[in-house]
Structures are given as C-alpha cells and as structure tokens.
Amino acid sequence: MADTRRGQVEVICGCMFSGKTEEMFRRLTRAQYAHQKIQVFAHWSDNRYGENLLASHNGKKLAAVSVQNAGEILPLIEPDTTVVAIDEAQFFDWNITELVEKLARRGIRVIVAGLETDFRGEPFGPMPVLMAQADLLDKFSAICVVCGGSATRTQRIINGHPARYNDKIILVGASEKYEARCRHCHEVPGKSM
C-alpha cells in the first residue's frame, strides 16, 4: 500500500485546448521515470481517439481504462498503485469527489483533469468541488481564436455559430465543435445576464 504521508489530490483544469491532458502526460511521465506504479482512467463517453486511451489533441496517447462512473474505479485499483490519473472528470458523477478523497487518504497521488466550466461558462459537474478539494490546483488557459488573448472559456460552435444556452450540455468533440475564447469573445445566445 502507498505511503499515507504522500497521498494528495492534484487538479488540472482549464478550457478546451489549454493543455490539460498534456500536463497530465507530463506528470505521469515523471512518475514513470520515478518507477511509480500508475493507473489511468478516462470517462467512457470521450472515445474520440479510441477506447481505453488517454489522448491529447496533439496526438499523444497512453493506455487507460474507460469507465462509466466513479464507482467502477475503486475495485480496479491495484495494491501497488501509487498514482491514479482521471481524465475528463467533468463527465463523472458526484461520487468522484468521495473517490479522490478516499484514494488520497490511502496515500495515493490522484491527478484529475477536466473542464471547470461548460460551453455556457457555468460550473461543470463535480469540477468545482474537486478544485476545492485539491492540494495542488493548476488552471490553464489557451489562446482565443477570435482576438488572440488569453482564453478561459470553451465556445461550442454549431454550423458556424455559437451554441445557444438551451442546447444540451454534453457533446463530445474537438476543434470541429469547440473553440477556445476569452471572456470578451465568448458568446452564449439566450443566456440571461
């Protein structure tokens, strides 16, 4: 079992195209160099790059176990695992918050990545709670495709136009459906202010 003095929760968040998964890869590579046992989990709904894969937009890939909910993860944790990575945490049920606490208390380093806001600019699933639980929190930004400024929002595009507020929240996609935008250039038609 892992050393209980080292268990912690690390959260990597930001808008789409901000490098969240790249940062997760970097941390996992360092853990592998240190001969730590890692296990990687991804939400089953994000299979854009194939099943049982953690993949970044720039083509990096790593084997991962695809799961539908947080309850599936705990039984899969092997006794000698010291690092658990969970990607696309915004898609998980609220039990993910209890799971990461439990793993950290067991002495496991838990690295979680996800979007903190949805295309509307509103808190996305359990991410705000995970961010509050974090021992280490890194918030990444991208480059706004409209003005070139610092992008902190994810803009959904449908037929070349911003998605409306009442469109469904979850729609898995990449650059064909989403853009990184700054607060000023982010648009959500139908959202009351």
User: Is-catalytic flag, 88?
Assistant: yes
Q: How many CA atoms lie within 13 A of 32 on its CB side?
A: 10
User: Which tokens in the block code for residue 98?
Assistant: 């209890």
Cα of 126 vs its chain's centroid, Å: 11
3-state secondary structure of 41: strand
The CATH class of 8-140 is alpha beta
Residue 65 pairs in a beta bridge with: 41
Catalytic residue among 88, 98, 179, 187: 88
Give the integer Cα–Cα distance in Å for 64 and 52: 5
Residues 121-169 have pLDDT tens digits of 999 999 999 999 999 999 999 999 999 999 999 999 988 899 999 988 8
Q: Where are the domains of the chain?
A: 8-140
Residues 24-71 have pLDDT tens digits of 999 999 999 999 999 999 988 765 555 666 665 566 677 889 999 999
